[in-house]
Structures are given as structure tokens and as C-alpha cells.
């Protein structure tokens, strides 16, 4: 008996749930959890099905492909642990949170390596017996830097790249290398305060709530599909740096929650939005 997750995405049509669940039934696969969603604007159907049983992947997927409409994307994903590489700059809180969660089993993930453009977090990373690659951006071009990053990351063949307060902008080439595989934490409640120094911006605007946003990285800065957001109240007593300090707990919680959803194969992307099943 094995557990696998089926992800289905296709143009909406009558009878899709029936067809998919029939095939599961025919293959004697028990449905443990099932969630589906139809986006009415785009007439797109999404379904995530946790299955248990004895799988013959080939015949099961063949049956699905016969039954489902053209343009269907379907994946049958084993429950094997996924692998990530984490990119950082200097701030410890997001990295520290993922390290502790991976250690105590709260996140079921293998951290293959941490890559930093400063060596500030090398010590913390190595405490957890994880390789740290210090790849400074200083004195080289952006292209050279990203080439070095890619080389370091690619050797681990990660399922996802996690930007845990990596403070440099990535080029479209870098992003295209890991499509919908890069997760970033932005320290504002997007789309408010895009770009640099969001807490300073928040302070100057006099907002009464600050937040953080985890999103997939696309070519547009801070514009990718949002996975998770959360907020905390602030007031006139908060300076910009008070906001930054208080915001850390939100940032790390939002990032690791988003990461957990992605690792559970729950997140679908539809244009610039996410469907989380």
C-alpha cells in the first residue's frame, strides 16, 4: 500500500469529478482527501486527490488521459520527501525557522544546501550540518554572479528554491530556470510597498497594520502569484525599525506556511493567482 497525490488541471467540462473518481475506483485506489475548484472566469478545473492503494502508474495515467479533455495537465506525485535549496543574504530569522522545522519534522523537507551572497549565515547553517555556499556578488557582474549561483544550486537538483530574505533581484533568465519553483518572502502586505525598504514605506504612510507575503517569483518584481499572507497590528509607537523587528515573526511564519503548502502539492497557479487545494 502506497500513498500518492494526483493533481489534475484542465478546461472545465461536465462530469470531470465523476470521470476521475471512477478511474480511481476502477484501480481500487482509495480517496483519502479530495478537493476540487472551478474557476468560473477562466473555465478552468483543478483537483487534488490523495490516494492510497497499489499503484500501476502507467495504466492509471493512461486511463486518465483517455478520459480527460485535451489540454489536461495531470501529475501523480509520490510521497517522497522533496529537496530544497535556500538562498539568503544576512537575516537569520527565516532560515533559522526552516532549519528548526526541518530538524523537528514540522516541515517534511530535505534542505540540500544554503546559498548566501554574504557569509553571515554560514555559521548558523553549518550548525545544522548543511552545506553553505558563500557566493559574493561583489566585484563581478550580475550575470557572472547568477551563473555561479545556478551552478551551485543545480548540482542539488532541488524541487524548489526558497528565497529566505535573499535581498537581490534575480534576472528573468535565472527565474526562467526554475519556473514556478522559486518561493520568495516579501516583507510587506503586497501589493502595498513593492520594492525596497517596505517597512520604511509603511512607516511613512502611517499604516496601522503591516504584513508579509510569500509568492512564486516571476519576472515582475514582487508581482508573482501570492501563496500566503499575514499581518500584525502596529501603531504610532512603532518606528520603521520596530516594524522590521516585529515583522520578522510574520515573515518567517508566512514563508514556512507557504513552503508547507507547496511541499504538500496543494498550490496551483492560474495566471497570476494561486488556487490552494
> What dihedral do alpha carbons 6, 9, 177, 219 form, nearest 10°?
-140
Does residue 147 interact with a second copy by CB under 8 A? no
Does residue 91 interact with a second copy by CB under 8 A? yes
Residue (82 or 215) nearer to a second copy, CB: 215
CA-based nearest residue to 90, from 114, 120, 132: 120
Three-state DSSP class for residue 109: strand
Q: For a second copy, which residue of 31, 67, 221, 263 counts as binding (CB under 8 A)?
A: 31
When computed from its CA atoms, the radius of gyration of the chain, rounded to whole angstroms, is 21
Q: For a second copy, which residue of 37, 72, 83, 177 counts as binding (CB under 8 A)?
A: 37
CB of 154 to a second copy, least distance (A): 29
Binding part of the chain for a second copy, among 2-10, 72-80, 122-130, 137-145 by CB under 8 A, reads 122-130
Q: Of all helices (H) and strands (E), which one includes residue 233?
A: strand 226-233
CA dist 228 and 190 (Å) reads 10
Does residue 208 interact with a second copy by CB under 8 A? yes
CB of 271 to a second copy, least distance (A): 8
Instruction: State the cell numbers at 158.
Output: 532541488
Active site residue 222: yes
DSSP tag of 270: E
Which of 63, 97, 159, 222 is flagged as catalytic?
Answer: 222
CA dist 208 and 233 (Å) reads 6
CA dist 276 and 247 (Å) reads 24
Does residue 3 interact with a second copy by CB under 8 A? no
Does residue 30 interact with a second copy by CB under 8 A? yes
Residue (18 or 75) nearer to a second copy, CB: 18
Does residue 167 interact with a second copy by CB under 8 A? no
Amino acid at each position: 500500500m502506497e500513498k500518492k497525490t494526483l493533481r489534475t488541471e484542465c478546461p472545465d467540462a461536465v462530469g470531470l469529478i465523476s470521470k476521475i473518481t471512477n478511474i480511481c475506483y476502477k484501480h481500487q485506489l482509495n480517496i483519502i482527501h479530495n478537493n476540487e475548484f472551478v474557476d468560473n472566469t477562466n473555465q478552468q478545473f483543478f483537483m487534488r486527490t490523495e490516494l492510497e492503494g497499489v499503484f500501476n502508474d502507467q495504466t492509471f495515467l493512461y486511463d486518465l488521459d483517455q478520459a480527460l479533455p485535451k489540454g489536461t495537465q495531470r501529475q501523480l506525485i509520490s510521497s517522497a520527501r522533496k529537496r530544497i535549496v535556500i538562498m539568503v543574504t544576512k537575516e537569520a530569522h527565516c532560515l533559522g525557522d526552516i532549519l528548526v522545522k526541518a530538524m523537528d519534522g514540522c516541515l517534511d523537507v530535505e534542505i540540500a544546501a544554503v546559498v548566501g551572497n554574504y557569509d553571515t549565515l554560514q555559521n548558523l547553517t553549518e550548525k545544522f550540518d548543511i552545506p553553505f555556499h558563500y557566493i559574493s556578488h561583489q566585484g563581478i557582474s550580475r550575470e557572472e554572479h547568477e551563473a555561479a549561483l545556478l551552478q551551485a544550486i543545480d548540482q542539488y537538483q532541488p524541487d524548489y528554491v526558497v528565497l529566505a530574505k535573499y535581498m537581490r533581484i534575480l534576472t528573468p533568465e535565472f527565474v526562467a530556470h526554475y519556473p514556478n519553483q522559486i518561493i520568495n518572502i516579501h516583507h510587506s502586505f503586497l501589493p502595498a510597498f513593492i520594492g525596497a525598504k517596505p517597512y520604511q514605506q509603511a512607516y511613512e504612510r502611517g499604516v496601522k497594520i503591516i504584513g508579509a507575503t510569500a509568492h512564486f517569483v516571476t519576472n515582475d518584481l514582487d508581482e508573482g502569484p501570492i501563496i500566503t499572507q499575514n499581518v500584525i497590528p502596529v501603531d504610532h509607537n512603532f518606528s520603521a525599525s520596530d516594524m522590521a523587528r516585529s515583522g520578522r515573526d510574520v515573515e518567517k511564519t508566512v514563508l514556512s506556511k507557504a513552503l508547507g503548502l507547496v511541499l504538500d502539492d496543494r498550490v496551483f497557479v492560474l495566471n497570476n493567482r494561486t488556487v490552494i487545494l
